[in-house]
Structure 1
Amino acid sequence: MDNTKTNTGKTQVGTTGPVLIIGAGLLGASLGMRLSKLGVPVFLRDIYPVVSALACDMGAGQKWEEGGSDPALVIVATPPDVAADQVIAALKEFPSALVTDVASVKSVILEEVAAAGADLSRYIGSHPMAGRERSGTAFAREDLFESRPWVVVPNQETDPGAVLAMRSLALDVGSLPLQLDAQTHDQSVALVSHVPQLVSSLLAAQLAKALPESLGLSGQGLRDTTRIASSDPALWAAIIAGNAEYVGKVLRGFADDMQQVLHALEHPGVDIPSPSLVGAVTLAMRQGNLGAARIPGKHGGAPRRYQEVMVKVPDKPGTLGQLFLAVGETGTNIEDLELEHSPGAAFGVARLAIDPNSAASLAEKLQVKGWEIVSV
């Protein structure tokens, strides 16, 4: 059941509950906060009482008490290395409940649940493609799933009603549901999530031995490519281990391409720069251009080209908000935003991605309002 509007204008929620969330970390607490705000009865259970207590204080639900009403839906939001055990236990403990997990890997969990002889008709895997560099309950947000894909992963025995229930859950929390089988899911996330995490972490690891003078030169490019390197090592070790086969295949392709560039760097030939080195780097860059161009646009459709309007933003409280207000007053939509700020600088540069037909006009209007345009 999709979200609709009633005659009173209130959102009608497809998930009725009660919902039991097992694991009150980032995903579990964020789900609880969103569902609780929608009026769905939510209960929380975590092996660490302090974690569930914090999540309750944040508005994610109530502490689960044994002997209460059985849940209609159980959401296992634990790390992937223990998710299968929790799913199996929940299917046994609550024989009338639909059980899902939100782990980042799906095949290994399905295999373990099936091997245990659990009721697969009531189990459906799922994976909200949402998260943060920081894990843990304290970083939970009720809007974490807004406009993010939510993968629904039924097995061959999953009841059709369970698929509808999971689609409703995704829509209720603001996500965009799509359906994949477990193998396709794991292949996909290896490419778009798991290997990017490893590559970012490996690059950031080189900074640990860098000279302070070198780090002082860092710009937005380095920040962009290492942003997710602050992620939880223990959690990601469990995720990568659970998807080792597909991560290994993607990482091998990455390593092969890297090796070609490395070979050219280490064997430049007589001429400097050598044709082979220039060719290897050019090929790598062109292949990267092609890959980047295939990343879907913000609405999930084909990539769209925008023009950048670069605006100098003084490093003072409220100036970025004033810039947004000024852009809004021109009637122009900001399609994307990046903010560059060098250490110690008295200003930053906001890179506004704008429809090409509106870029020049926006720049002129902002200049009239007193903003300094760096480039269009």
Structure 2
Amino acid sequence: MTLPHVHIIGTGLLGTSLGLALRRAEYPVTLSDQSPTAVRLAADMGAGTAAEPSTADIVVVATPPDVAARTIVAALDTWPEATVTDVASVKTAVLAEARTLTGDPVLARYIGCHPMAGREKSGAIAARDDLFLARPWVVCSDEDTPADRLAAVVALAEATGAAVVHLDPEFHDSAVARVSHAPQVLASLMAGRLKDMPADGVALAGQGLRDVTRIAASDPGLWTQILAGNAAEVRAVLADVRADLDALIGALDLEPGALATIAGLFAAGNEGHDRIPGKHGQAPARYSSVTVFIDDTPGALARLFTDVGELGVNVEDIRIDHATGIKLGSVDISVIPSAQVTLTEGLAARGWWVPEAAIDTEGRE
């Protein structure tokens, strides 16, 4: 079967990563960008051929959100037989603007998409061919979408290793405001509190702060565009967060009833956290954690995981925290509860520094 020719407009992180993934799947890919340097870099990285083709089967618009609609309409005009899609992180505003620029019959060839993948780094140089692997890829279609065009876009998404999810544009924007856009705002605001903090205080940072602020390194310009494109939904989420913050700030006066308010807010957080999908998109599962202290030296992690494997225990998740000032770190290994004792005692017996093992041993003596 001959794979469709895909033309990608925009060779930033997503466009270049998509080109790399599709070339790995042997799709013919051409690339274009307003920046000659950017498109040459993407081509040099193997994401496709730098060219503006006369024909294309699928055109993917991977430009910044604030120019996505205009680029989509231009692509529909330039390639009148092609299916046009995009990777913008907002869908309703892009579709509404496109409708003001062209008619519905033309837009029948447009299918909005949003791969839920990214990095805190930007540009072609940060691209990876596995960026979309096992990540949700939202496809926004309706009953009027031609079945053959929809199938081609779904096949393209699946060729990258992504898992296709069909959503309505309005629901998509409401959902990403909660799972992506507002979290980015909160991470950046928290990281902003560190801007003028004395270095000795920042040095106390642990894994909790790193977890909360990891995405705060994201591109300010891109996120300004994203928030502007999904302003109403993000504003609604942040207003709810502000109400909870106001309640918490008021409770910190520690008047009668304050502790119940504080505990209730944390309990609500527990409930929300428990709804986040677990491994492979499955229902959330509770794991037990085994902490191991290791030297920060080459091969230490490899030896640890070799021993875990030889004990017949599957690692469900890991978290690494690095000590300040010394070459020592802790590895929290998440396992199913029934494997906790096996792993704890087995690693301790193999000479690993497992604090829980010492406590268990003392308890039995």
Please tell me the TM-score bracket, short chain as reference. Answer: over 0.9
Partner residue, 2:276:
295
CA deviations 1:185-244 (Å, max 9, x no partner) are 000000000000000000100000112221111100000000000000000000000000
3-state SS of 1:174 partner: coil
Pairwise CA distance, 1:264: 2.0
CA distance in 1, matches of 2:54, 2:353: 61
Query: What does 1:157-236 correspond to in 2, within 5 Å?
Result: 157-236=144-223
- 1:54-106 Cα offsets, whole Å, 9 max, x none, are 111111111014xx451111010111100001100000000010000000000
Q: 1:236 to 1:190 in 2, by over 3 A?
A: same
Cα separation, 2, equivalents of 1:347 and 1:297: 29
User: Which stretch of structure 1 is more off in the superposition, 31-40 or 153-162?
Assistant: 153-162
8 Å CA contact 1:15, 1:165 repeated in 2: no
Q: Distance in 2 between matches of 1:358 and 1:15?
A: 49
Alignment-mate amino acid for residue 309 of structure 1: V
Deviation at 1:331, TM superposition (A): 2.6
2:323 aligned partner: 342
CA contact (8 A) 2:311 2:342 kept: no
Query: Does the residue aligned with 2:348 lie in a helix, a strand or coil?
Result: helix
Deviation at 1:369, TM superposition (A): 2.6
- The equivalent position to 1:332 in structure 2, one of 300, 307, 313, is 313
Q: Which runs of 5+ in 2 are unaligned?
A: 358-365
- State the match for 1:276 in structure 2: 257
Kindly provide the amino acid, as one letter, of the partner of residue 149 in structure 1: P
SS at match of 1:240: helix
Q: Is the deviation greater in 150-159 or in 56-65?
A: 150-159
Q: Quick check: 2:54–2:79 contact (8 Å CA) kept in 1?
A: no
Asked whether the 8 Å contact 1:15–1:169 carries over to 2, the reply is: no
8 A contact 1:128–1:149 mirrored in 2: yes
- Residue 278 of structure 1, CA deviation: 1.7
Contact 1:294–1:303 (Cα < 8 Å) also in 2: yes
For 1:311, which of 287, 292, 295 is the aligned residue? 292
196-205 or 294-303, which deviates more: 294-303
Q: Secondary structure of 1:349's match?
A: strand
Query: Mind listing any 5+ residue stretches in structure 1 that lack a counterpart?
Result: 1-13, 270-274
TM-score (normalizing by structure 1): 0.91
TM-score (ref. length: structure 2): 0.94
The two structures, once aligned, show a CA RMSD in angstroms of 1.5
Identity of aligned residues (%): 46
Runs of 4+ aligned residues of structure 1 deviating over 3 Å after TM superposition are none
Task: Please tell me whether the aligned partners of residues 42 and 62 of structure 1 are also in contact (alpha carbons under 8 angstroms).
Answer: yes
Structure 1 match to 2:76: 91
Distance, in Å, in 1 between the alignment partners of 2:65 and 2:143 is 21
Q: How many residues in Structure 1 have an aligned counterpart in Structure 2?
A: 355
Q: Distance in 2 between matches of 1:34 and 1:330?
A: 36
Q: Select the residue among 118, 125, 133 that pairs with 1:138.
A: 125
**Counterpart of 2:355 in 1: which secondary structure?**
strand
